């Protein structure tokens, strides 16, 4: 009995040290605000929870927003800046949600600790807290990022797209210093959230001008999708990305890929490409043998992603308002 209690404690202590080690050399560290703003993380956590309780869609929204922020100029909150030609206005970001959560947290933090906590750190912490609220893992988030002063819609070409080939997806992740395993793990974040029909309905009817549906779709699942997204129907209608479990963070997303039930073409390709299929299979395997723990690996990949091209020290700024540079 003593061993069964101590083992997970030792393991999670190791995981905390491992994620902290990943942050070393990046200028970020766990507990960055422990003296300058001791309540920073608890303020963000309670703010995210309050918004989540009234609108659960903010959870996948904040996770996606953090991802989109980090892939363009690094994790510097440039996604939050208002303007007609900023990242926020670009096509891939027009359906992002959760900005009001970040603004609310920032207002409270400015009242408690003026000019101390960056918008980039608020977003990184809010993404983690969102995952926790959907029954997902908690990981230690290194903080100390500063906010960027540049935000250009033209830079969003770096973002992975719903119809990217597997080679293009791998290249976009590799350009950010992320591995194929990171790719599969982070795309697994689609276990929560929805997609608009317009981003996958082309797979249901005349895929690649064949007059038929995408053959990688489970034939038994196809009528359900066609009922949800009729041909020439409302392209803005939203459908859960993880069939049967869209509001819970779990590994069922990978089960759906194995069964031909991935919504997005780019998601389903994780099963048809040998190098990515290997990791999907490991997330579906028996943990400790051939398997990987999705929860553990997700936290590690999120820490790695959250340190992409971070601005620390004298670089960047601490915005007073997240939607505008100082």
DSSP 317: B
Q: Is 131 annotated as a binding residue?
A: no
51 part of the active site: no
Q: Which helix (H) or strand (E) holds 69?
A: helix 58-70
Closest CA to 303 of 193, 185, 191, 194: 185
The C-alpha atoms of residue 246 and residue 268 are separated, in whole angstroms, by: 16
Rounded to 10 degrees, the C-alpha dihedral 147/150/156/160 comes to -20
Q: Is 69 annotated as a binding residue?
A: yes
Q: Is 76 annotated as a binding residue?
A: yes
Partnered with residue 195 across adjacent β-strands are 239
Q: Is 87 annotated as a binding residue?
A: yes
The C-alpha atoms of residue 311 and residue 120 are separated, in whole angstroms, by: 9
* Phi, psi torsion values for 75, nearest 5 degrees: -80, 80
Rounded to 10 degrees, the C-alpha dihedral 319/118/174/250 comes to -130
Q: Is 129 annotated as a binding residue?
A: no
Reading phi first (left if > 0) and then psi (alpha if -120 to 50, else beta), residue 107 is in: alpha
Closest CA to 23 of 285, 324, 305: 305
Q: Is 31 annotated as a binding residue?
A: no
Q: Is 297 annotated as a binding residue?
A: no
Q: Is 191 annotated as a binding residue?
A: yes
Q: Is 72 annotated as a binding residue?
A: yes
C-alpha count within 13 angstroms, C-beta hemisphere, residue 89: 11
Q: Is 66 annotated as a binding residue?
A: no
**Tokens 């999120």 found at:** 302
Q: Mind giving me the DSSP string for 39-88?
A: THHHHHHHHHHHHHHH-TTHHHHHHHHHHHHHTTTSSSSGGG--STTSGG
Q: Is 167 annotated as a binding residue?
A: no
Catalytic residue among 51, 64, 68, 106: 68
Which residues are annotated as catalytic?
68
Instruction: List the binding residues for Ca(2+).
Output: 69, 72, 74, 76, 78, 87, 191, 242, 250
Instruction: List the binding residues for heme b.
Output: 190
Instruction: List the binding residues.
Output: 69, 72, 74, 76, 78, 87, 160, 190-191, 242, 250
């Amino acid at each position: 009995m003593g061993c069964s209690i101590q083992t997970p404690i030792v393991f999670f202590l190791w995981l905390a040290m491992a994620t902290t080690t990943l942050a070393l050399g990046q200028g970020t560290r766990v507990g960055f605000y422990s003296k300058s703003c001791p309540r920073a993380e608890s303020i963000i956590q309670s703010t995210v929870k309050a918004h989540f309780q009234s609108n659960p869609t903010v959870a996948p929204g904040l996770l996606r927003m953090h991802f989109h922020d980090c892939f363009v100029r690094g994790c510097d909150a440039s996604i939050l800046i208002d303007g007609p030609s900023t990242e926020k206005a670009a096509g891939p970001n027009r359906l992002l949600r959760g900005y009001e959560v970040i603004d609310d947290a920032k207002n409270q933090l400015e009242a408690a600790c003026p000019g101390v906590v960056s918008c980039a750190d608020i977003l990184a912490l809010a993404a983690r807290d969102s995952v926790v609220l959907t029954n997902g893992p908690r990981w230690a988030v290194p903080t100390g990022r500063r906010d960027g002063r540049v935000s250009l819609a033209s830079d969003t070409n770096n973002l992975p797209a719903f119809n990217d080939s597997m080679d293009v997806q791998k290249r976009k992740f590799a350009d950010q210093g992320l591995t194929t395993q990171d790719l599969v793990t982070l795309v697994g974040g689609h276990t929560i959230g929805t997609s608009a029909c317009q981003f996958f309905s082309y797979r249901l009817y005349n895929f690649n001008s064949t007059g038929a549906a995408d053959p990688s779709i489970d034939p038994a699942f196809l009528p359900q999708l066609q009922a949800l997204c009729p041909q020439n129907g409302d392209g803005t209608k939203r459908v859960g990305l993880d069939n049967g479990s869209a509001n819970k963070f779990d590994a069922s997303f990978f089960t759906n890929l194995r069964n031909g039930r991935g919504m997005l073409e780019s998601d389903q390709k994780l099963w048809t490409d040998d190098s990515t299929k290997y990791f999907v299979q490991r997330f579906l395997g028996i943990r400790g043998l051939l398997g990987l723990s999705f929860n553990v690996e997700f936290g590690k990949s999120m820490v790695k992603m959250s340190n992409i091209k971070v601005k620390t020290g004298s670089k960047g700024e601490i915005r007073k308002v997240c939607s505008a540079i100082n």
